[in-house]
Amino acid sequence: MSSEAVEFSDDYAITTGNHAPLWQARPFFIVGAPRCGTTALSKYLAENPEICFAKPKETHFFVLEDRQLTAKELTRRYLKRHFPNLGPAHKAMGEGSVSYLYAPEAIGRILVSFPQARFIVLLRNPVEMIQSYHARLLYTREEDERDLATAWRLQGQRAAGQHIPSTCRDARVLQYLEAGRLGSHLEALIEAAGRARVLPLVLDDLRDDPAATYARVLDFIGVPSDGRSEFKVKNEHREFKHAWLQSIFMGKFGVPMTLLIRLHQSNWDLPRRLTRPLRRKIKKINTVPAQRADIDPALRAELSSAFAPEVAKLSRLLDRDLSHWK
């Protein structure tokens, strides 16, 4: 894989107001893809004392925030809301919103606020990703069709507004083909940000040699090694115990938990501090580990055929043989 070196400017610094810059903190964004190890990598980085990681990990800020704000206002609000602990000891600051990979306009807004931003993309076999992604959507109640083959064939109807689960907050997440177009989304990101500012990683490498992958990331964002040697696996397959409780937690009934979630996401810091422990507790009580069912061979062949062009594109972009994914 070709890699043109790009240095961070020595005079690049972060400021939370109108005062002179007080410290340097190099910005980076883990932008995707879903179910590809972003949670594990984010946790490793968040535990590095020289990295300030966003609270929460996935802010989705540059997708959701008011688009009428000036770049200065946008940057100030972003730092104040999601990096309250940012200080002189931090050499880098980052977050992990996978929605950015699918939103070119968000990448543009990031680059206006943080011209030297760097982007990390985790990738995996799209067929495996879609299977895991479907299971995750079932857990979060965005999806109600438990059979992946049926959910795959419902994409056209759902694009027309039909068969959308009442608990789904954004029907676009049900477009599995679009979610798995990893080669095309990576290509668009490279075109927007420049090849030298994008670090593509393969989940296989994070699993097989997490220490080496973590070291690559630290080098990419300009942070020295912290000597980390333990890398626990995150985001195992999970299911909920009670659908009614999960529906309340995900906001189906519109008032109790949705109100708490809105307070949690507000600009006021007190509601966030009060609601975060409650949401975590409910989530923990209602969650159990589970075994993922094997995918039907006929469906696997259909998905492999659908994603073959994307795998070929990834092979070219990564300069890596991924034929075994097909």
Lowest mean pLDDT, pick from 16-30, 198-212, 215-229: 16-30
Q: Contact 188/104 with Cβ under 8 angstroms?
A: yes
Q: Domains (ranges, CATH) in the chain?
A: 1-143+175-235+308-326 (3.40.50.300), 144-174+236-307 (no CATH)
Strand pairing of 287-289 and 238-240? antiparallel
State the CB neighbour count (10 A cutoff) for residue 276: 14
Residue 53, both tokens: 């990681």
pLDDT digits (tens, 9 = 90+) for 190-202: 999 999 999 999 9
pLDDT at 3 over 80: no
**Chain-wide mean pLDDT for the chain?**
85
Q: Contact 286/157 with Cβ under 8 angstroms?
A: no
- Helix and strand numbers (H, E) in the chain are 15, 7
pLDDT at 232 over 70: yes
Which residue(s) pair with 30 in the sheet?
A: 120
Radius of gyration of the chain (CA): 20
For 72-114, the DSSP string reads: HHHHHHHHHHH-TT--TT-SEEEE--GGGGG-HHHHHHHHHH-
